[in-house]
Chain A
Amino acid sequence: MKGIMRFSVLAVLTAVLVLAGCGGGSQQATTGEPETIHIALTAPITGDWSEYGVNFRRSVEMGIDYLNANGGVLGRQLRLSVGDTGGSPQEAATLAQRWTSDPTIVAQIGSFSSSEAMAAQPIFDAEGMVQLSPTASHTDFAPGSDWSFGIVGTQAAEGPFMANFAYNDLGLRRIAVLHLNNDWGIDTARHFSDAFTRLGGEIVRTEFYFDGERDFTAVLTRLAATNADGFFMASFFNDGAAIARQKERIGWDVAFLGPSSLYSPQLIELGGTAVDGLKTNVSFFGDDPDPRIQAYVSEFQQRFNARPNFHAALAYDAIILLADAMERAGSTDRQAIRDALAQTKDFPGLTGSITFTPAGDAQKEYRRLWVNSGRFEIWEG
């Protein structure tokens, strides 16, 4: 019995070794032809943020198809590996290990949230691979590593923009703040509050909630009891919709606004009439008459039977920008890509022109947006 066991273990080991040998051989055979350029995408394909993650994948695939149809990058075709975080920072870090340990991968796009991106950051930093996040907007993200770049702009810019919107355009003076209690939410609330106070407004109360909470009535009741004339919520669209509904239910009728993470068709589906009047901002708007944007929107609609949102457009910008950096670098060396990317200046993206600060953040232009009778519209004042 023991002998048979030993024999079978030996047989399996031999088989594995033979197979591994074959694998190595076939890999060598391909080096003769022009190699593909291998890029990784990290995104929350499942989970509460799946709408964002799936749009990342769609846009990046669309960008790669476009580039490949136009001769590829440096005369080589691009190929993509996608990893799903499910929205979890731990998973993002695991994926970072996987991408950096694969020598064929030259750069990574992702992930979606600042929490995910910052959890993965030390790994990309130590191994030396570009971490180009379409949406991470935490002020500590891009400065945290030479290898990290964010193209959405940071809360340090978006916060003051929204504060100005609230104070000067909407005439609000006393604002109650509710934020999601994670890296991004704290940062967003802080930058908005600081800028609003600097303008002369008053933050009457700040409260927070934990991810996964669905009952906001208690905290909203408390905020409603302040003398606030405005309400700022640092939330994603799904929480934002629930907050708006419960705010309406307790009869707290107050001007409300939030960051661009609220801009999604899903917000209106989940929030119904309760989100009417919500003010937010965006640097990409699907109804913009710009022909480049319309071409992108119509192709996206044709392929996926869905309208692209801000975050989808950012992901599209990310892949085109990365390809541009590789062309400029003239190489797919990880270090060369980073250096070229860092020198990006006035890159014409769908979400506005992109120039990186020395820290690796893009400076963006924002536009005022609001929900008017169940539709997102540019706010004209």
Chain B
Amino acid sequence: MLAQQIINGITQGSLFALLAISFAIVYGTLRLVNFATGSLYMIGAYTSFYVVRHVSSNLFVSLAIAAVVGFVMGLILERLAFKSLRGVSRIASLICTIGFSLFLNELAAVIFGRETRVMPSVYTGTAFRIAGTNIIWLQVIMILVAGVIVIGLQLLLFKTKMGLSIRAVSLDYKTAGLMGINVDRTISFAFGLASACAGVAGVLAAFYYNSVFPVMGTLPGLKSFSAAVFGGLTSIPGAILGGYLLGVIENLAVQVISSGYRDIVGFIILVVFLLVRPRGLLGRKIPM
């Protein structure tokens, strides 16, 4: 049973990890917490809802299309909301992301309707059993997808020119600009990448929970922000660690304490880390 809770936690942790990565990429490059992340997750989920209806019921088709939609949404968001605010007080951008989140949620409610829509079940067969616990293929796929994205991101950041630009901009965008890096394009790209991660997480959630609804991103968005702070907002490995740990801790809290306390645990972690160790488990110190 403990094994079952840990598996539940790891599966849920995959979603948190992907969203936490999204927070970490944006924070790493822009020093900005993007509170619209949960809404991008919701958009990813609705994308898969329509892909399943009109294109293909294959999970991987949904993932690919949602990643592209997420990327484009990220570019649009960055262009509309943040480019004009770059260099202005960071608070302005932060509030802008909150506004955007509300805007997207309400827009989705108007366009798609407020009611819960059903998603088909896929890959529900048992993959294998550990300690008397069923693990279904979808859970395996979720963990693998998260893993592939993490490795892909590390390769991108450390082996490509774009990755080098992103790292340079994240250290000091003014100097990076002086050294001939196209700062605008780099930031747009990073933002798109982060949004694509959120979109992919949304697709996985839509299939895992068999449902989509307009405010589905709010709670996961906030919790994965805790996960990102927990692991270290500037560090992608930290975000992943934070995501998985939060998932497991939450599920164990249900086991040990009571189901009512699961949401509280995530936010206690947030508060404690902000107070005691703001750079998280693996993050680097940022001169504020």
Q: Is the CB of B259 within 8 A of A217?
A: no
Query: B91-137: which have CB < 8 Å to A?
Result: 109, 113-116, 118, 121, 124, 134, 136
Point out the residues of chain A lying under 8 angstroms from B251, CB to CB: 217-218, 221
Point out the residues of chain B lying under 8 angstroms from A287, CB to CB: none
Query: B35-87: which have CB < 8 Å to A?
Result: none
Partner of B118, one of A210, A217, A221, A270: A270
Point out the residues of chain B lying under 8 angstroms from A245, CB to CB: 121, 210
Given contacts A48-B213, A210-B263, A214-B216, contact A222 B116 (CB under 8 A): no
B224 to chain A, nearest CB (A): 13
Query: A158-197: which have CB < 8 Å to B?
Result: 181
Task: Encode B244-263 as 1/0 by CB contact (under 8 A) with A.
Answer: 00000011001100111011
Query: A204-242: which have CB < 8 Å to B?
Result: 207-210, 212, 214-215, 217-219, 221-222, 224-225, 238, 241-242
A218 to chain B, nearest CB (A): 4
Point out the residues of chain B lying under 8 angstroms from A46, CB to CB: 109, 113-114
A-B pairs under 8 A by CB, number: 82
A265 interface residue per 8 A CB criterion: no
A250 interface residue per 8 A CB criterion: yes
With both beta carbons as reference points, the residue of chain A lying nearest to B136 in the complex is identified as A249
Task: Encode A38-62 as 1/0 by CB contact (under 8 A) with B.
Answer: 0000000011101100000000000
Q: Is the CB of B5 within 8 A of A221?
A: yes
Point out the residues of chain A lying under 8 angstroms from B260, CB to CB: 181, 208-210
B219 interface residue per 8 A CB criterion: yes
Given contacts A221-B5, A242-B210, A245-B210, contact A208 B259 (CB under 8 A): yes
Measuring CB to CB, which residues of chain B are less than 8 angstroms from any residue of chain A?
1, 4-5, 8-9, 11-12, 109, 113-116, 118, 121, 124, 134, 136, 209-211, 213, 215-216, 219, 250-251, 254-255, 258-260, 262-263
Measuring CB to CB, which residues of chain A are less than 8 angstroms from any residue of chain B?
46-48, 50-51, 86, 181, 207-210, 212, 214-215, 217-219, 221-222, 224-225, 238, 241-242, 245, 249-251, 269-270, 272
- Given A222-B259, A249-B124, 15 additional A-B pairs, CB 8 A: A51-B115, A214-B216, A215-B209, A217-B251, A218-B9, A218-B259, A221-B254, A221-B255, A224-B1, A225-B1, A238-B211, A242-B209, A270-B116, A270-B210, A272-B121
The contact sample of 19 A-B pairs, CB cut-off 8 A, is A48-B115, A48-B116, A48-B213, A207-B258, A209-B260, A210-B263, A212-B219, A215-B8, A215-B12, A217-B8, A221-B5, A222-B1, A224-B1, A224-B4, A238-B116, A238-B211, A250-B4, A269-B118, A272-B121
